Amino acid sequence: MAKEIQVLFIDDESDIIDSMKRLFMREAYGVAGVTRIEDARRVLSTEKIKVVVSDQRMPEMEGVQFLKEVKQQHPDSIRILFTGYTDITAAEEAINLGEVYRFLTKPWKSSELVSTIRQAIEHYDLVIESRKRKEELEIAHKRLKEMYEMQKEFTSTVSHELRTPLASIKTAIDLVIKRMVGDINAEQQDILERAKRNVDRLKRLIDDILDLMKIESGRLQMNFQSHDLVRVVQDAVEFHKPFAQSRGLALTLEPDPTVAPFVFDSDRITQVMNNLLNNAIKFTPQGGVTVKIENHIQGNHALVSIKDTGKGISEEDLPKLFRKFQQLESATENQEGGTGLGLAICKEIVTRHAGKIWAESRPGEGSTFSFLLPLEERRNS
Amino acid sequence: MTGAAKNILLVDDDTDLQFLVKTTLSCSGFCVETANNGLEALTRLSSFQPDLIVLDLNMPQMGGLEFCRRILDETGRLRYQVLIFTARANVENISQTFPISGFMSKPFEIDDLLREVNRITAAKA
């Protein structure tokens, strides 16, 4: 089987060409040898030549001149000047001008010559390969950018198109339930309450999906500023007191006043607190919820934990908690109907703060959800 | 509420929601006029002096942002109190572009809308 011709030798002395052909006979690639410029041009145009080795002193044209021509026609080819010591200056000049990759001297050492050609082929392959990779990367980058734009467009369109009709449905139901357009009886009220619960759930779901898409795509603008964590947690606890009371639950806060203000996004941490508190209250039939703030200066973080006296979470369910749309069976029994995205959003938010969030629980012994936030800035926003 | 009923111009191209919001506000003692887009709202302003304009953003012919631009005075302030009323996401920072009086996203709670509308119209009086 004929080997793919990758190397071209040109030398006006046919003896040299013959010895080259012999020398490279056992190589994995094929070698073409010619004595005339015209033949060299023909080989270059028909074969995929990686390396061109040209004699310097030829009657038709100087080697440097010929290689210059090769460079113009086949800029990727590796060009080597084959020359006696007397022409070294010309060779060096050619190398400096970028016309020639390197030169080989006559008389040559067979092993050196073969290894130089091998290296040249390798070099050629590497250059082509890395160019291919670069092109692939550029295409992938461009595609990613397009997808990002599409998602952005999609997100805001979906948001608008879903929320608009939902606003009408919700307002219509609320108007009637609130008896702003006349009285309704208990049965009608009950029916509409059910519709309302589900519309509100759909609204939360849309909000959560958009939120998560925004956070995951890295488009969520975090607003990192110095805040008092105790204050932020306290506000969230106060906000949930009526809800806890309506369930007959105690909601207590054990703050650590030594936590000095540090940098975090207070709106987003409030969102995390609201999620965790809402879950804790929702899934605790009796007893209470205790929120603790601890200052771990040595560990460079503040720890917030929300402990409830609910029925707890089984060991196999614990790892599923922070995944998307992973509502535990016990949770779906609940009337409130969460979106299954709340904890996934919490995780993203805490992660963006370079913090950590996790849950500990044993069935029958309640659950504790904790998150820690670094006190020193070391997040990338 | 004391004195004469406050005037509200409600600008929204969604006729169902427009009807429902008008009902909500009328039931709460406001005098409500409607327009289906920014252009209509501009025309309406020549004969109607609202204490507040409740303004949707995405509307045909003239959207809410262009409408805001048209009612800017020489000092860069809006000639009317404007409550932006939109289902669009990521427009919370619109107050940096125009000195709006309030922002309400759709869907909304009736109580929240009434609280905002009362706050803005009371502040003006």
Q: A168, B17: Cβ pair inside 8 Å?
A: yes
pLDDT of residue A350: 93
**Minimum mean pLDDT range among A51-55, A327-331, B62-66:** A327-331
Q: Work out the minimum CA distance from A169 to partner chain B, whole angstroms.
A: 9
Tell me the mean pLDDT in the region A303-320.
88
Q: What is the largest CA-CA distance in chain A?
A: 112
Higher pLDDT, A85 or A314: A314
Backbone φ and ψ of A312, nearest 5°: 85, 175
- Nearest CB among B20, B88, B90 relative to A171 is that of B20
Residue A326 has pLDDT above 70, yes or no: no
User: Which residues on A lie below 8 Å from B87 (Cβ)?
Assistant: 159-160, 163-164, 167
A277 pLDDT tier (thresholds 50, 70, 90): very high
Residue B112 has pLDDT above 90, yes or no: yes
Give yes or no for a contact between A320 and A262, defined as CB atoms under 8 angstroms apart. Answer: no
Residue A31 has pLDDT above 80, yes or no: yes
Residue A233 has pLDDT above 80, yes or no: yes
pLDDT of residue A95: 81
Could you tell me the CA-to-CA distances from A113 to A87, A109, A221 in Å, in that order? Answer: 18, 6, 60
- Residues of chain B that touch chain A, judged by Cβ-Cβ distance less than 8 Å: 14, 16-17, 20-21, 23-24, 27-28, 58, 87-90, 105-110
**Spatial CA neighbour of A178 closest among A204, A196, A201:** A196
Q: B110, A164: Cβ pair inside 8 Å?
A: no
Cross-strand partners of B35: B11
Q: B89, A178: Cβ pair inside 8 Å?
A: no
Cα dihedral sign for A126, A131, A137, A143?
Answer: negative
pLDDT digits (tens, 9 = 90+) for A190-221: 999 999 999 988 888 888 888 887 777 776 77
Distance CA A34, CA A18 (A): 9
Mutate to test the interface with A, among B106, B113, B115 (most CBs of A within 10 A): B106
Q: B20, A175: Cβ pair inside 8 Å?
A: yes
Compare all CA atoms of chain B with the CA of A211 and give the residue at the minimum distance.
B89
Residue B54 has pLDDT above 90, yes or no: yes
Helix, strand, or coil here: A64? helix
Higher pLDDT, A379 or A304: A304
Distance CA A359, CA B32 (A): 51
Residue A37 has pLDDT above 80, yes or no: yes
Backbone φ and ψ of A329, nearest 5°: -55, -40
B92 pLDDT tier (thresholds 50, 70, 90): low
Compare all CA atoms of chain B with the CA of A153 and give the residue at the minimum distance.
B89
Q: Work out the minimum CA distance from A50 to partner chain B, whole angstroms.
A: 55
Q: Which residues of A310-328 are buried (b: 16+ CB within 10 A; e: fewer)?
A: bbbbeeebbeebbeeeebb
Tell me the mean pLDDT in the region A252-258.
90
Cross-strand partners of B104: B85
Q: Mean pLDDT score of chain B, rounded to an integer?
A: 90
Give yes or no for a contact between A51 and A45, defined as CB atoms under 8 angstroms apart. Answer: no
Q: What is the DSSP string of A337-352?
A: ---S-HHHHHHHHHHH
Residue B2 has pLDDT above 80, yes or no: no
Residue A378 has pLDDT above 80, yes or no: no
Q: Work out the minimum CA distance from B95 to partner chain A, whole angstroms.
A: 17
* Kind and range of the H or E run holding A369: strand A367-374
Tell me the mean pLDDT in the region A339-345.
84
Angle between helices A342-352 and A266-282 (to 10 degrees): 150
Residue A13's Cβ-side half-sphere holds a number of Cα atoms within 13 Å equal to: 10
**Spatial CA neighbour of B114 closest among B32, B12, B37, B56:** B32
pLDDT of residue A186: 94
Q: B17, A164: Cβ pair inside 8 Å?
A: yes
Distance CA A266, CA A224 (A): 8
User: Which residues on B lie below 8 Å from A159 (Cβ)?
Assistant: 87-89
Q: Work out the minimum CA distance from A168 to partner chain B, whole angstroms.
A: 5
Distance CA A263, CA A285 (A): 36
pLDDT digits (tens, 9 = 90+) for B69-79: 999 988 888 99
pLDDT of residue B3: 64
- Nearest CB among B17, B23, B90 relative to A167 is that of B17
Residue A176 has pLDDT above 80, yes or no: yes
Helices (H) and strands (E) in chain A, counts: 10, 12
| Amino acid (one-letter) located at A318 | L
Distance CA A37, CA A319 (A): 73
pLDDT digits (tens, 9 = 90+) for A86-97: 777 877 887 877
pLDDT of residue A315: 83
B81 pLDDT tier (thresholds 50, 70, 90): very high
Instruction: State the residue for tokens 């929702």.
Output: A282
Q: Read off the tokens for B106.
A: 């759709």
Q: Mean pLDDT score of chain A, rounded to an integer?
A: 88
pLDDT digits (tens, 9 = 90+) for B40-53: 999 999 999 999 99
pLDDT digits (tens, 9 = 90+) for A57-104: 899 998 989 999 999 999 999 999 988 767 778 778 878 777 788 888
Helix, strand, or coil here: B69? helix
Percent of chain A with pLDDT over 90: 57
Q: Are strands A262-264 and A225-227 parallel, antiparallel or unpaired?
A: antiparallel
pLDDT of residue A377: 60
pLDDT of residue A380: 47
**Minimum mean pLDDT range among A40-44, A96-100, A377-381, B96-100:** A377-381
